[in-house]
Amino acid sequence: MQLAFDELGTPLRDVTFVIVDLETSGGAPGPDGITEIGAVKIRGGEVLGEFGTLVDPRTTIPPQIVELTGITTAMVQSAPPIDQVLPAFLEFAAGAVLVAHNAGFDTRFLRAACEGHGYTWPKPAVVCTLTLSRRVLSQADTRSHRLSALARLFGARTTPTHRALDDARATVDVLHGLLERVGPLGVQSLEELLDFLPDVTPAQRRKRTLAADLPETPGVYLFRGPNDEVLYVGTARNIRRRVRQYFTGSESRGRMREMVALAERVDGIECAHALEAQVRELRLLAAHRPAYNRRSKNPHSHWWIVLTDEAFPRLSVVRSERDGALGPFGSQARARTAADTLAGATGLRTCTQRIPARAPQGTPCVLAELGRCGAPCAGRQSVDEYAHAPRQIADLVAGTGDTPLHAARAHIDTLAGDGHFEQAARRRDELVTLLRGVGHAHRLSALAAIEELVAAAPDGTGGWEFAVIRHGRLASAGVARRGTPPMPVVDALVASAQTVLPSPGPLRGAPAEETGVLLRWLTTPGRRLVRTSRPWSEPVHGAGGWAPWLDKVATAATLENIG
């Protein structure tokens, strides 16, 4: 279906194309190897210029390549090398759409040459006439999609000769012939041409009308199925443009094509800015659990480490947040690793039996014989003598002490000093997991503890994007465009913000994913704190003080991998 005029994008008649062809010495793409570059710049059917030169590949040209192209080693000896040719070619092609027959071949060589000689590959839009011909032409039109066959089909004024400029001139006429074929199919703009290249079914393409009434603003979109069920939730800076891509082939994932086939409607929810869209997406995923979102399979799959409530507490890994918990951890395995490291560093028991406070009559296990447990089960440790271990855990969670971390590191140093390097490396990795978990927990809980925080980010056009955050949740979002006084906007956002009642636990009931999104946004360079109900700070005795050690470990691990 033909789109309305205001949806077309850049008309093809206004697009500058640079049709390029390369000849090479036959090797794999690398800094050198190109023997000739030919290019033609066109716009609106008119030739604006041509570029052609032999290139010294800094290697001997094999006989079979000489036979194919006619370019000999003697011919290129006096030619400039590619590092001298590239600046001129990149300037010639600047701002244009690159076109080539089997474009992947040509762009791989050009990109490799740029990377090998210190030039920035401009990442232009690319149109492959080979791909386009396979999409447009049937076997009744042509049995071959080689450049020579297409040149004959479209009556090209230049015959391909395996010389770069001749082949580029022939590709110009092939491109024009192919564009005439796609015009009646509704391809009138560059955006539609790029979307047309991937292979999509007519039924999928017809559904692009579902995007017609969506806004061109940041927000969230929901694909709905035959029974109005939510199939998929996503975010975009431009909702209409992103949704259209699902129907035009830019989306190549099989599951997404299956989802598009089922979709009957697409709803768009406008958001003030990208941060609000991210948060709304998380909330909609939790509410609807759409079948085609991977994150819907295990929503809120976080684990916490807690001290059990008994006379001789031990560490337990649980799914629910509570006061005094350490977390969240992204997997049960990471939580268990951190718990085992803490137990080993503090002397906490790891058995699961309940031990009475008075006159325990148990039998010591092997850990007691190894000196890794005080054996409270056998009465060798009183409640008061045992209490120092859970107290160290509580201090670490609260950020008032990091004794277990130092004990774990001292054990690693002892193992390494005794020559047990493999065991020391395992313990080091376990301590890294623990440190990252503690650091993540303290950062999230510090934000969740703040009753209200207002922050701003520049919108890139002279205005500001605002977020009102209450107990780790987004309570309000808005913008002050350039020229708009920002503080009245802030006051209005605060007055209309969602009321957030905190719950027990380090995150005050906020979803860990949402608090994490807000934390990443707040700590991105350029953010400004407008106001906050209390100072935003992290514990002194947290993982932050261990950053130099973590950096040292990361450097050592990199060197080990290189070795």
The answer to whether residues 323 and 349 belong to one domain is yes
Residue 416 lies in a domain: no
Q: State pLDDT tens for residues 87-132.
A: 999 999 999 999 999 999 999 999 999 999 999 999 999 999 999 9
Compute the average pLDDT of residues 255-279: 93
As a whole number of angstroms, the distance between CA 271 and CA 466 comes to: 12
Q: Which amino acid is at 473?
A: R
As a whole number of angstroms, the distance between CA 417 and CA 6 comes to: 72
Q: What are phi and psi of 139, to 5 degrees?
A: -65, -25
Check residue 40 and report its DSSP letter: E
Maximum distance among all Cα pairs of the chain, rounded to whole angstroms: 102
> What's the confidence (pLDDT) of residue 545?
83
Mind spelling out the 3-state secondary structure of 448-460?
Answer: HCCCCEEEEEECC
Residue 337 lies in a domain: yes
The answer to whether residues 169 and 209 belong to one domain is no
Which H or E element spans position 304?
strand 303-307
Non-local (6+) Cβ contacts of 556 within 8 A are: none
The answer to whether residues 271 and 353 belong to one domain is no
The mean pLDDT value of the chain amounts to 90
Q: 311 lies in which domain range? A: 304-405
Residue 430 lies in a domain: no
Residue 391 lies in a domain: yes
Taken as a whole, the chain contains a residue count of: 563
4 pLDDT tier (thresholds 50, 70, 90): very low
Q: Is 162 a catalytic residue?
A: yes
411 pLDDT tier (thresholds 50, 70, 90): very high
> What's the confidence (pLDDT) of residue 197?
74
Residue 278 lies in a domain: yes
Contact between 128 and 104 under an 8 Å Cβ cutoff? The reply is: yes
The answer to whether residues 387 and 461 belong to one domain is no
Q: Which amino acid is at 93?
A: A
> What's the confidence (pLDDT) of residue 479?
97
Compute the average pLDDT of residues 72-91: 95
Nearest residue to 104 via CA among 82, 130, 134: 130
The answer to whether residues 75 and 117 belong to one domain is yes
Q: Single out the catalytic residue among 101, 117, 145, 162.
A: 162
The answer to whether residues 168 and 277 belong to one domain is no
pLDDT at 269 over 60: yes
pLDDT at 12 over 50: yes
Nearest residue to 438 via CA among 541, 327, 303, 339: 327
The answer to whether residues 18 and 118 belong to one domain is yes
As a whole number of angstroms, the distance between CA 57 and CA 533 comes to: 66
CATH number of the domain within which 128 lies: 3.30.420.10
Start-to-end CA distance of the chain, whole Å, equals: 58
Q: State pLDDT tens for residues 466-501.
A: 999 999 999 999 999 999 999 999 999 999 999 999
* C-alpha to C-alpha distances, 349 to 216, 356, 368, 371, nearest whole angstrom: 59, 14, 9, 11
Residue 334 lies in a domain: yes
Number of domains in the chain: 4
The answer to whether residues 355 and 391 belong to one domain is yes
Q: State pLDDT tens for residues 171-214.
A: 999 999 999 998 887 788 888 888 777 666 667 777 878 988 99
Q: State pLDDT tens for residues 217-239.
A: 999 999 999 999 999 999 999 99
Non-local (6+) Cβ contacts of 554 within 8 A are: none
> What's the confidence (pLDDT) of residue 299?
55
As a whole number of angstroms, the distance between CA 511 and CA 554 comes to: 30
Residue 557 lies in a domain: no
The answer to whether residues 286 and 336 belong to one domain is no
Residue at a domain's end among 193, 209, 235: 193
Q: Angle at Cα 344 formed by Cα 338 and Cα 350, nearest 5°?
A: 85
Q: State pLDDT tens for residues 308-352.
A: 999 999 999 999 899 999 999 989 999 999 999 999 999 899 888
Contact between 284 and 222 under an 8 Å Cβ cutoff? The reply is: yes
Nearest residue to 349 via CA among 313, 378, 321: 313
Residue at a domain's end among 137, 164, 193: 193
Nearest residue to 449 via CA among 507, 516, 398: 507
The answer to whether residues 160 and 256 belong to one domain is no
The answer to whether residues 315 and 260 belong to one domain is no
CATH number of the domain within which 206 lies: 3.40.1440.10
Which H or E element spans position 550?
helix 547-562
Check residue 327 and report its DSSP letter: E
> What's the confidence (pLDDT) of residue 378?
77
Residue 272 lies in a domain: yes
Non-local (6+) Cβ contacts of 238 within 8 A are: 216, 217, 218
pLDDT at 149 over 90: yes
Tell me the H-state helices in 18-99: 63-69, 73-76, 82-93
pLDDT at 8 over 80: no
The answer to whether residues 67 and 173 belong to one domain is yes
